[in-house]
Each structure stands twice: as C-alpha cells, then as structure tokens.
Chain A
Amino acid sequence: MRFTWDIFCTVIDNFGDIGVTWRLARQLAAEHDLDVRLWVDDLGAFVRLCPSADASLAVQEVQGVAVHYWAAQWSPVAAADVVIEAFACELPPAYIAGMQGRERPSLWLNLEYLSAEAWVDDCHGLPSPQGKGLQKYFFFPGFSTRSGGLLREAGLIARRRAFQCDIAAQQAFLHDIGVARASGHRLISLFCYENSALSSLLDALAESVQPSLLLVPEGCVSAGLKSYFGLEHISRDHSYERGALTVQLIPFLSQQDYDYLLWSCDLNFVRGEDSFIRAQWAARPFIWHIYPQQDEVHIDKLQAFLDRFSVCLDGACSEVLSALSMDWNEGRNMAQSWRRYDAASPVLAGHTADWSARLAEGENLAYSLVQFHQNWL
C-alpha cells in the first residue's frame, strides 16, 4: 500500500516556503514511493521555481508530485495518511474534520522553519493536542542529531562533486545563463533581501585587489544596484563595472540551475532558508542574509548558526565571519569586515567544505519524516 501525503504551503512572500515544500514533495515521491500532493496558494511563485509547470492549472502532475492550487474556497477532498502544514500555515477546517473522520486519523505534522538554536532539539517531535483526539506534531529541521535534519536528496553530494570537478560543465552552465567568466575573476552570487549594507559591499569589492564578477538574479536588489550605479534602468543586456567589480544580472533560475550557480561560484550570498541550505551543500563559502524581523529575534537565530558553524573554526576566523555576517544582516558598513574576510577566505573555504561534508553525514529531513510516520504507526 502506498501512503498518501499532503503538504500544504502558503506563499507568504518570496520563494522560501514554496522552495522548501517543493523540494520535500519531490523527494518524498521520488525516494520513498509515496503519493504526494502539494497544495500551494500561489502557483505563480511555484512556476518561477519550476518553469515547466503551468500556473493556470488547478491540478497538474509535476515530477511525480500532484501539484494542486490551494484556492481560498476549499473543495473537500479525502484527507491523506500524513498531512504536513508547512511553516504553521492554517489548514482548511473542513480538511481537519476529514482528518478526524478517518478510520485512523491522519498523522498531522507542522513543519517548522530551520533553526540552529538549542531549544529546537527539545521541541522537535513533541505533540500538540488539538482536541477531538487529534494530535499535531511539531517537526523541526535542524543541524543536530536530535532534530529533523536537513533536506538533502539522494545523490546530491556526488552530483555536486562531479560538477565541481568538471570545468567544461561549469563553463557550459555559465554560458547558458549568459555569463563569461574571465580568468582570475572571483565569481560571486548575490541573493539577498533589500539591504542597506549593499553599497558598502559593492565598494569593498570594487576596491579589492582581486577582480570580482558579481552575479545577481534579475529582480533581486535592483533598487540598490540602480542607486549604486546611478542608473534608472539596469538589465541583463549589460554588465556594470566599478573598479575591480563587475555586476551582471542573470535570469531567475530554477532550483536545479540555482544549484549549478552555487556550485560554480567562489562565494555565495544567500537568504532565507532554501538557498541557505543549498549553499551548505554547495560546500563553497557563503554569507547568510537571514529573514529580517522587526523585533530583531532573527539575530539570535543567526548567532546560533554562526556558533554552530564555527565550532571547529579557529577563533580569529570565527570572529571575522561573525563580524561580516552581522554587518551584512544589520545593514552596517562592510568595508573593514570585508577586508578581514577576504584575507581569511582560504581558511573559510576549507572550513565550509569540511562543514558541508559533516552535515552530509547527518539525517535528511525527508527520511526523518518518513521514519517518524513509521514509528507513529
């Protein structure tokens, strides 16, 4: 018997929520022989990540997953064996009633955002009574063995290694997205939220000894780039130079192509959750722009990650990374922290590769979810 899984995703903003749930849905279907439905309330966002999909279809089969438009007006369907509400989205009341009405109630999981904080380990997998005999379980991705692990599909590390050893494949990929890498240029990808530290980062790169080619997905920080270069319009038809810095816009990439980009670059600026995780599998140095919040609670979360990441890193390099990360996330001038980071980059590159290899020995999230279901049964 194939188990049925429903994953519900509301797109709050950007692409993080749908990015994570789409990867998870694919992996569950492909690697665990499950019937997976992905319910998403914004097919436009989904299609940006999966260009082969059609935003006008209420139901479509994509890469083994039944992708359903989650309309505001809910049409009742039979509840699945396992139900994941991603990031605490609210399930339709009628669907919850259906979960209760089954001969054996559905396993109800709230998949939370990734955090490196210690409290995650104490809360992972705990039940949350919902009344009428239903329990919801909190499922926390994380970096420790007591958490739910990280999304990592089978064969990912081998594919990345093969790609990173294959110069021709890298050149072909870059060529396909319109990038020609000049010899001696440092290749950097930039994916971040609007950031008042951007201009100081660009200045620092412009003043560096080593030339940099900065690749920015179209639409990302375009206001900041236009302001920096004093232009009303920027486009993929041109590149923009200042000192040792060249900025080039690239198309918004599918998840697969974004992986190739991360694998190709010497340094990746990433944001949110999905690209943050993928940067770690890329095993190349990365700087995380965490989702900012008004009450600054994101800084604790950032620090928790930096603390965990830096455990086997020497104190000086750890401090350099922390300073740059905090400047970037708090919108401060990055001139000084960039210079120090630049000097420490060979050590940080080695450390990031080691970190990635250690993480790859841990549990992956999809497997943890399947195991949790089996144990629950």
Chain B
Amino acid sequence: MKTAQEMKPNSVMLIDGQPWMVQKAEFTKSGRNSAIVKMKLKNLLSGSTTETVFKSEDKVEPVILERIAVTYSYVADSVYVFMDDEFNQYELSEDDIESVLPYIVDGMTDICEAVFFEGKVISVDLPTTIVRQIVYTEGSARGDTSGKVMKPAKLSNGTEVKVADFCEIDDWIEIDTRNGEYKCRAKAPF
C-alpha cells in the first residue's frame, strides 16, 4: 500500500477492482484542514475520468501494470494493431489509445509500450519524446530565430502542434508526448 500523497501522475491504483491512472494530483494543506490530494483519475478499462479527493495519508493500492515493447503496424476499421518482437499482435480501439492517437502516423518506428491489466491489453504508451515531420506550416512571419515565437504546424495525420516560428515544411521536430509540446527541430529518424 502507498499513501495518496505518494501517487504521482501516471501512477495507477486499484479501486474496487478497477485500475485508475492518476492524470493530475494537487496537494493542499491549509490551516487545521486535512492535508488533501485532489486527483483527476482515468479508469483504464472504461476510459471514464473522475475527480476525487483523498486525505494525503489515506492508503491506496498501487498497481504495477505489465508492459511489453511493441511497434505500430496498421489501422483497420478503427482498430489499431501493434506488434511485439515475436510478432504477436495486439488490437486496441481508438478509445483505448485516445491520449496517444494524435501521434500515431503510418510508418512510425517508435518503440511503444503495450500496457496490460490482468492479462488484457488496455492501452499503449509512446516514448516521452517522438520525432514527427511537418507536412504544412506557414512561412516565418517575423524571421524570429529565438524559438520563442510559435506558429501552428500540421503533421501527416492532421494533428496540429505549435512549433517555433523558424520551422518549415518537411522539417522533423521533437514532440513531448506528455503535453504535446514542441521541443526542438530534429534530424530525420532514418
């Protein structure tokens, strides 16, 4: 068991037999009030989210989820198929991979992690940093080279990200998958 205060974003706890992932955790201590942790939780089976409050010292049951390295293969009829190095295939729905869907592109070679709960694949995690190619963006409006001025850019799957003003069409960029933010320009991954 752990205390609620020890549960950080992305850690998972078991509540009434269901795995809930901590998406956000805010600690508050005020006056004589209980020290509390307000959490946003996501049910890893149903995808539903909820907000909860725990006393910081409340005991919760952490869950260590099994993870297997996989790569993306293809999508058919909204079923996303990933494969491990023994060619086992794992099928996931759009809902299962909602949080990483914006970064799924044909031909991607990222080593992902299929996440299992009680033997069943429930989601896929991408690496923290991925490299994607810009297929469209406007030209640099102000000639800024500092990287502080941002503009929208589109990836090949239509996902829009804010990139540095100096980025151009066909440039490769690094994206932080935890927050969807542009990090820097990158070399082509092949």
Contacts and interface: CB of A to CB of B under 8 A. Distances in A.
- Are the chains A and B members of one assembly? yes
Interface string A211-239: 00000000000000000000000000000
A122 B28 CA distance: 11
Contact of B51 (A126, A133, A290): A126
B31 A293 contact: yes
Interface in B1-50: 15-16, 26, 28-34, 36, 38, 50
Contacts of A291: 31-32
Interface stretch (B53-61, B70-78, B111-119): B53-61
A112 B52 contact: no
Summarize B's interface: helix, strand, loop or mixed: strand
B49 to A, nearest CB: 13
B31 A123 contact: no
A138 B32 contact: no
Given A128-B54, A129-B15, A138-B53, A123 B38 contact: yes
A48 B176 CA distance: 61
A297 B31 contact: yes
B53 A123 contact: yes
A119 B28 contact: yes
A88 B15 CA distance: 21
A115 interface: yes
Given A88-B55, A128-B54, A138 B36 contact: yes
A87 B32 contact: yes
A122 B30 contact: no
Contact of A115 (B15, B16, B31): B31
A132 interface: yes
Given A126-B53, A127-B52, A128-B52, A112 B15 contact: no
Contact of B38 (A88, A122, A131, A295): A122
Contacts of B34: 87-88, 110, 112
A128 B30 contact: no
B30 A115 contact: yes
Contacts of A113: 31-33
Given A122-B38, A123-B36, A138-B36, A128 B29 contact: no
Interface in A80-131: 87-88, 110, 112-113, 115, 117, 119, 122-123, 126-129, 131
Nearest to A134: B16
25 contacts: A87-B34, A112-B33, A112-B34, A115-B30, A115-B33, A119-B38, A123-B28, A123-B53, A127-B50, A127-B53, A128-B53, A128-B58, A129-B15, A131-B61, A132-B16, A138-B36, A138-B53, A290-B31, A291-B32, A297-B31, A298-B31, A300-B30, A300-B31, A301-B30, A301-B31
Given A128-B58, A129-B52, 16 more contacts: A87-B32, A113-B31, A119-B26, A119-B28, A119-B30, A119-B38, A126-B38, A128-B55, A129-B15, A131-B15, A133-B16, A295-B29, A297-B31, A298-B31, A298-B32, A301-B30
Interface of B: 15-16, 26, 28-34, 36, 38, 50-55, 58, 61
Closest 6 CB pairs of A and B: A301-B31, A88-B34, A126-B53, A129-B15, A138-B53, A113-B33
